[in-house]
Amino acid sequence: MTAPTAGPVEANAVVDFVVDGDTIDVIVDGREERVRLTGIDTPELARRDTGATAECFGEEATAFTTSLLPIGTPVRLERDVEGRDDYGRLLAYVYRADDGIFVNYEIVRQGYALPLTIPPNVTFSELMVDAARAAEADDAGLWSACAG
């Protein structure tokens, strides 16, 4: 498992689409995979199929993830213990290949997501909690926009 430090990393996928703040589509070995970013939970977008309304900061979280991972961005995906969720999505920690930015962490640290720990995938649980505490202390993102 790569430590969350900046510096180029070897890519093993390319971003094809940002679905929402914590879900992306990537191309891996010539095929598309839906990836759920492990250890984080962003507010949900509105859904036409279910009639669900958007949660506070859902649009902003998606825009932030899109700014970090535009289509065509080479990334490194790393799995924890459990590789897929109940929906068949690949569960991964995502790093931008060109600079090694740990995307999952950055989304939480900037206030666009909360930590979400689902055992056995707990490698970076404490790091995500620390990132959320720092974002809250800074009144960043959803911590100021969605208060109360």
Q: What are the residue boundaries of the structural domains of the chain, listed by start? A: 13-140
Instruction: Calculate mean pLDDT across residues 59-72.
Output: 97
Q: Which residues are catalytic?
A: 36, 44, 89
Query: What is the rounded CA–CA span in Å between residue 119 and residue 144?
Result: 29
Beta bridge partners of 75: 13, 96
Query: What is the rounded CA–CA span in Å between residue 16 and residue 72?
Result: 6
pLDDT band for position 5 (cuts 50, 70, 90): low
pLDDT digits (tens, 9 = 90+) for 136-147: 999 999 999 886
Dihedral pair phi/psi, residue 144, rounded to 5° = -100, -40
Contact 38, 90 (CB under 8 A): no
pTM of the model: 0.92
pLDDT digits (tens, 9 = 90+) for 79-116: 999 999 999 999 999 999 999 999 999 999 999 999 99
Query: What is the rounded CA–CA span in Å between residue 135 and residue 59?
Result: 18
Query: What is the rounded CA–CA span in Å between residue 90 and residue 146?
Result: 29
The alpha-helical segments, DSSP class H, found in 42-145 are 58-68, 103-109, 125-137, 142-145
pLDDT digits (tens, 9 = 90+) for 12-46: 999 999 999 999 999 999 999 999 999 999 998 87
Residue-level pLDDT at 115 = 98
Fold type of domain 13-140:
OB fold (Dihydrolipoamide Acetyltransferase, E2P) (2.40.50)
